[in-house]
Amino acid sequence: MPNIIEGSLAAQGLRFGIIVSRFNHFITDKLLEGALDALQRSGAEEKNIEIHKVPGSFEIPLMARRLVDTGGYDAIICLGAIIRGGTIHYDHIAAEVTKGIAVLNLEGKVPISLGVITAEDIEQAIERAGTKMGNKGEDAALAAVEMVNLLKKI
């Protein structure tokens, strides 16, 4: 039988930076609620969670870079909502935000989870922020906890 290494969902003593976009706040507020609930259920203490609000999703990678550079966090959780409009702006923003977060993640200093939803319309965004499709903020927080614990085992 191969040796299986996996991370736990125990957040006791871990420090989290949450970056949340204010744009589309009616969605991102719900993502933040889901992330906070998941962290608290996993044992994270409020004093070890900091929330950093940025104007929009495009600013998330810059803030993530700054938080990584402080060395003060075990994981960073990125939350935003990019909703398709009538122009190609959506495609550019979604690609650059995802790429920016991926580049930082691959540097390997701390896990950075992607809780930035991309949606075709408002209804789809609402579904991913706590209704039919679950809460992607919760999913991002749990992924961050699991990755911190997994990386500690390697």
> Could you confirm whether 92 is annotated as catalytic?
no
Using CA atoms, how far apart are residues 63 and 67, in angstroms rounded to an integer? 6
Angle at 32 between CA 27 and CA 36, to 5 degrees: 155
Using CA atoms, how far apart are residues 31 and 26, in angstroms rounded to an integer? 9
Using CA atoms, how far apart are residues 43 and 59, in angstroms rounded to an integer? 29
Q: Give the DSSP per-residue string, 68-137.
A: HHHT--SEEEEEEEEE--SSTHHHHHHHHHHHHHHHHHHH-SS-EEEEEEEESSHHHHHHHEEETTEEHH
- In the DSSP assignment, the letter for residue 143 is H
Q: Which of 25, 52, 89, 92 is catalytic?
A: 89
- In the DSSP assignment, the letter for residue 45 is -
Using CA atoms, how far apart are residues 49 and 70, in angstroms rounded to an integer? 15
> Hey, which residues are catalytic here?
89
